[in-house]
Amino acid sequence: MDKPGWPLAWLRAQLGYEPRDPALFRAALTHRSAAGPNNERLEFLGDAVLNLVVANHLYVAFPDASEGDLSRLRARVVSGEPLAEIAASLGLGEALQLGSGELKTGGFRRQSILADALEGVFGALYLDGGLTAAEAVIGRLLEPRIAALPAPHELKDAKTRLQEYLQSRGFALPRYEVERIEGEAHAQTFYVTCEVPAMRLAAQGRGSSRRRAEQGAAERILSDLDSSLDSHSD
């Protein structure tokens, strides 16, 4: 059975949108576990619309970013976790139509269901009001997250940033060496040393895996380099 005023009340209150075809939004807010038209096809369309709108925003907001940087920035905005957070903040879970099985297992709180439904709503917005309508809503919902994105170079991990720094100056790549491993097999701690012989720099990192320990050591080297550059500028 439909919820009272569903889905018009939710659309007006949360998106400030008056639909021409409410049936599109009924489908967008219906999970495949429930009877009737569901949001799977609209989710497919909404994903494409979302990526287009966000790509355009990022292209304008970060004029010097490379293609790879733009892709990494976009992933920060359109992946399942941030979309589910936005959906939850809009009370989308309460507006969803779910089958009895999903209702019993708390499907209205499940991240994947929320993210998919929000993409379904974006698809419905596009079909109902065109790209202008979809862009207006998507822009309003995502603008705070786009504005809070870090600088593109900060998205790269420490090992990549250190490697690029050294290569740009003609230095050899850093050397990583596991110094020791402590703890039981299920709870090990790795200690790794990163060395940059050409610059006479070395630092140690530790972590629950070799990769994390290497990242920590590289981050310490980068921090040392930043401190050295700051002292020279003074």
From 43, 47, 135, 219, the catalytic residue: 47
Q: Position 131: which residue type?
A: L
94 among known catalytic residues: no
Per-residue CA distances from 19 to 77, 122, 131 (Å):
26, 12, 14
Give which of 95, 89, 98 is closest to 4, Cα–Cα.
95
Q: How many C-beta atoms lie closer than 10 Å to residue 36's C-beta?
A: 10
4: number of Cβ within 10 Å = 6
Q: Which of 156, 193, 131 is nearest to 69 (CA)?
A: 156
Tally DSSP H helices, then E strands, for the chain: 10, 3
Note if 119 is an active site residue: yes
Residue among 158, 159, 125, 151 at smallest CA distance from 140: 125
Enumerate the H helices of 111-156 as residue ranges. Answer: 111-147
119, 135, 214, 219: the catalytic one is 119
Beta bridge partners of 190: 181, 207
Instruction: Read off the tokens for 45.
Output: 């369309």
The catalytic residue positions are: 47, 119
